[in-house]
Amino acid sequence: GGQILFGQKGQSRVAFPDGDSVYIGAYSDTGYKPVWSREYTPRGNVSRVIGQDNVSTVCLWSYNGKYPVAQIVNATTSEVASAIGMPIYTLENYGKASFEALGLRQRLDDYFTGKPVLITTCTYTPLVGITSVTQPDKLPVYFEYDAFGNLRSSSYNLDGTEIINQFDINYR
């Protein structure tokens, strides 16, 4: 198998090797040096990025492949698959109810306890927007929408008592 390179010597180039990976790098007299690479799911979503610093970031998708639900920095695809108990591509086929019943964040936290891994997870209301984001500090932020799908507020509690931002929309 070969690869197709775009660009000129000394400039950024894109290499498309055989398989599901894309490598971005630079070509010099000493050869091609990858700057980062990406791997994709069968649905075409980014599943893994390896940066120039050689740190692997795994991205999980769900809600029938429409939304990213987790970013795990400093982990491999096989580690994440072990943590969630299935191949990462399988999660992509889960709908909202199946995904929420999975308990993804707890599974990831349990598996990676004591390891230098940064985990960010998200939940959504499809066709409306993101409903929660939990950063590596494990403090979730919840988002509330009005009947028209406009963001109303973000808060640290599901009941909205600890509001971070509130958005008022005046309809005419």
Structure confidence by residue, pLDDT tens digits, 81-123: 999 999 999 999 988 888 887 899 999 999 999 999 999 999 9
Cβ neighbours for 133, distance < 8 A, ≥ 6 positions apart = 120, 121, 122, 140, 141, 143
Q: Which residue has the higher pLDDT, 31 or 7?
A: 31
Residues sharing a CB contact under 8 Å with residue 148, sequence separation 6 or more, in sequence order: none
Q: What is the 3-state secondary structure (H, E, C) of the chain?
A: CCCCEECCCCCEEEECCCCCEEEEEEEECCEEEEEEEEEECCCCCEEEEECCCCCEEEEEEECCCCEEEEEEECCCHHHHHHHHCCCHHHHCCCCHHHHHHHCHHHHHHHHHCCCCCEEEEEEEECCCEEEEEECCCCCEEEEEECCCCCEEEEECCCCCCCEEEECCCCCC
Side chain identity at 157, as an amino acid letter?
A: N
pLDDT of res. 159: 73
pLDDT, average across residues 41-48:
91
This prediction has a pTM of 0.77
State percent of the chain over pLDDT 70: 78
91 Cβ neighbours under 8 A, 6+ residues apart: 60, 61, 62, 69, 84, 99, 102, 104
